[in-house]
Amino acid sequence: MNNKTYLQLFIIFLIIITSSLIYQNYFKKVDYYEDQNQSSVSNEIINIEKNKDDEKFKNQSSSIIEQLKYISSDSLGNDYIIESKSAQVVSNNYNLLRLIDVTATILLRDKDPVYIYSDFADHDKISFDTKFYGNVKVLHTDIFIKSENLDLFYKDSIASLYNIEEAYNKEIKLIADKIDFDMLTRDLTINMYDNNKTISILKK
């Protein structure tokens, strides 16, 4: 072969080598970066969807219920009505509601109703047990009690009041720390936290 032929072959070989190098170093990198970008976008979309679901769950968990009202009746014919201006699910326990500005009415069969008022309450939707707190007031016939806390055990018809500020029965003022009140029998169990202190009964 003459020199011209060798030169042509060398040029062709050089073109092939150059093209190969350009493809390896440029186009494959572009493909790689596109694949990486697509993977990153896909992961971002998944994360966005997960965040949306988490946010949705969070919003549902913290959603406010306005003007809530529950009514329950027991086998003895007593009715329990609890109302609040607003309510919110407590943590992840969907059976427990935190109530705000609360009014409860206990309609006892053949007896006068019991009225309970409080700033807040934690109410179990299954058992109907309710913990009232914050400016708790109880009205029942001639009984008036003001306290910071009242735990109502609905099934047992027991109201346990503690951190008592005032307690009256007709013309009698009672000074005590804790009162357990049986709403069916109207029996009272009265206690003081400090054993050195005595329960006082004063005439108004």
In the chain, where the domains are located:
1-61, 65-203
Rounded Cα–Cα distance for residues 140 and 161 (Å)? 14
pLDDT at 81: 93
* More reliable by pLDDT, 100 or 6: 100
Whether the full predicted model's pTM is greater than 0.75, yes or no, is: no
pLDDT at 54: 40
In CATH, what is the architecture of 65-203? Answer: Sandwich (2.60)
pLDDT at 65: 81
pLDDT at 9: 56
Rounded Cα–Cα distance for residues 114 and 140 (Å)? 5
For the chain, the average pLDDT equals: 75
